[in-house]
């Protein structure tokens, strides 16, 4: 699966075909350091040939062979994208061991007084390989140890006059290695952050696609149930004989069974995206202004909170259903209606829809009032919310919706 595609879904909009990732950064760094190392390795060959007669043949053949074989391995591994760390680590360890045994490999000490060993030309290569292959702490330690060991070796083998040169050479190598390590660390962190953000974006998109599919399926099932209920009511209205009434009763039983099975079970909540309560308030206010009866919208509190998108959608739908119920059953334009949407202190949201219209007896709500049961209570309950309905015949109705974040939701928002 690529970064721009989800299995079974459309391409994620706005992503490039080859986004910047940690893996690409590592491949690029490996190829750059491998090329840099090979160039420096070729430059040191003439120096090795010049100093070889004054060194132990075994020492030269073993360590030169190991180091150049490691560089060749690194070059091939950087192209193939495999075993890069092993190749670079082998060079680092081989180089450090060659430094420690340099004095034992010298046959003609007088030749090296005042001159650098051929290992000097590979010091920056070793620190670059350490930055590539080792964890940050180990790379920092190697960056400090390798130049330090080189400085000590040079001071011991090149004579008293080489102490200043050894100090400057070691300091130069340490500064160069520190800069390279800092750059690589920052680039790696940036690439990791890009990976993290891209992964989060893909998760949000996948969740949105799934939510859309579930909502589409729910709408389709609701339409089927609606047709079944409507057919049952028509059959019951036209029933005149005991047989017809029995058939209508059987149809009603089947319709209620379908209605019960059409409601999906509650799913674990997962906060994948969030919007402020103020945006939900503005959207509900806009819906209230589009109705044929006036609603008095209470101004929002200065406090705000973030709530999951799926919770906001459910609260919006339930609130609109409650306002439509009020417009249809509470009375005309002379009925006073109010609407309030506010964030709560615990990071949740509270919605109140009230009127002083006709009202009804809550305990005698008939089962066929699908708008109240399915569109309000069940929808809000599915996202972990609570619904409170207070109504008195002749004294109006108040519908309250409340959602509180769970402990896991609070951490993710």
Any residues with CB less than 8 A from the CB of 91 and at least 6 apart, and which? 37, 67, 70, 71, 74, 125, 126, 129
Q: What is the chain's mean pLDDT, rounded?
A: 79
Lookup result for tokens 């060659």:
98
Banded pLDDT at 15 (limits 50, 70, 90)? very low
Confidence (pLDDT) at 138? 92
pLDDT at 103 over 80: yes
Highest mean pLDDT among 185-199, 263-277, 383-397: 383-397
Q: How far apart are alpha carbons 341 and 302 in whole angstroms?
A: 12
Confidence (pLDDT) at 11? 39
Beta bridge partners of 7: none
CATH class of 269-412: alpha beta
Stretch 34-56: mean pLDDT: 89
Instruction: Identify the residue with better confidence: 10 or 288.
Output: 288
Residue 136 burial (CB count, 10 A):
12
pLDDT tens-place string over residues 184-208: 889 888 888 887 777 777 677 667 7
Rounded to 5 degrees, φ, ψ at 145 are -75, -45
pLDDT at 408 over 60: no
Residue 215 burial (CB count, 10 A):
12
Banded pLDDT at 153 (limits 50, 70, 90)? confident
Nearest 5°: the CA angle 343, 383, 392 is 70
Of 89, 83, 152, 144, the residue nearest 119 (C-alpha):
152
Evaluate whether 284 touches 320 at the Cβ level (below 8 Å). Answer: yes
Question: First vs last Cα of the chain: how many Å apart?
Answer: 28
Stretch 377-404: mean pLDDT: 87
Radius of gyration of the chain (CA): 38
Confidence (pLDDT) at 86? 94
Banded pLDDT at 1 (limits 50, 70, 90)? very low
Least confident segment among 16-25, 73-82, 172-181, 330-339: 16-25
pLDDT at 374 over 70: no
Confidence (pLDDT) at 327? 85
Banded pLDDT at 68 (limits 50, 70, 90)? very high
- pTM, whole model, 2 decimals? 0.49
Confidence (pLDDT) at 228? 60
Evaluate whether 52 touches 80 at the Cβ level (below 8 Å). Answer: no
pLDDT tens-place string over residues 212-258: 667 766 666 666 666 666 666 666 666 667 766 666 666 666 666 65
Stretch 288-309: mean pLDDT: 82
């Amino acid at each position: 699966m690529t970064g721009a595609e989800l299995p079974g879904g459309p391409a994620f909009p706005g992503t490039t075909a080859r986004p910047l990732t940690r893996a690409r950064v590592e491949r690029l760094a490996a190829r750059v350091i491998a090329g840099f190392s090979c160039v420096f390795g070729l430059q040191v060959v003439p120096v090795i040939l010049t100093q070889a007669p004054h060194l132990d043949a075994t020492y030269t053949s073993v360590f030169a062979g190991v180091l150049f074989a490691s560089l060749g391995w690194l070059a091939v591994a950087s192209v193939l994208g495999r075993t890069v760390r092993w190749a670079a680590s082998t060079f680092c360890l081989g180089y450090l061991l060659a430094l420690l045994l340099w004095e034992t490999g010298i046959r003609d000490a007088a030749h090296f007084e005042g001159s650098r060993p051929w290992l000097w030309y590979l010091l920056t290569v070793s620190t670059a390989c350490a930055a590539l292959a080792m964890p940050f702490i180990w790379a920092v330690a190697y960056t400090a140890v390798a130049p330090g060991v080189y400085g000590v070796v040079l001071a011991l083998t090149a004579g008293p006059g080489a102490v200043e040169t050894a100090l400057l050479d070691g300091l130069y190598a340490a500064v160069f290695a520190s800069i390279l390590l800092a750059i690589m660390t920052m680039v790696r962190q940036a690439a990791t952050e890009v990976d993290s953000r891209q992964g989060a974006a893909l998760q949000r998109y996948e969740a949105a696609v799934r939510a859309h599919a579930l909502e589409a399926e729910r709408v389709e099932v609701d339409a089927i149930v609606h047709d079944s209920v409507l057919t049952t009511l028509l059959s019951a209205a036209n029933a005149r004989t005991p047989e017809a009434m029995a058939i209508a009763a059987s149809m009603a039983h089947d319709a209620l069974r379908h209605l019960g099975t059409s409601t999906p079970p509650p799913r674990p909540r997962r906060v994948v995206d969030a919007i402020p309560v103020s945006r939900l308030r503005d959207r509900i206010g806009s819906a209230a202004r589009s109705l044929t009866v006036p609603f008095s919208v209470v101004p929002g509190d200065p406090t705000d909170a973030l709530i999951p998108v799926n919770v906001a959608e459910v609260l919006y739908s339930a609130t609109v259903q409650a306002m439509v119920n009020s417009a249809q059953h509470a009375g005309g334009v002379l009925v006073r209606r109010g609407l309030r949407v506010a964030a709560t202190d615990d990071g949740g949201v509270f919605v109140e829809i009230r009127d002083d219209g006709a009202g009804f007896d809550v305990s005698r709500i008939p089962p066929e009032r699908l708008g109240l049961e399915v569109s309000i209570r069940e929808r809000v309950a599915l996202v972990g919310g609570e619904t409170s309905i207070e109504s008195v015949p002749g004294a109006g109705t108040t519908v309250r919706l409340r959602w509180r974040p769970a402990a896991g939701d609070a951490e993710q928002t």
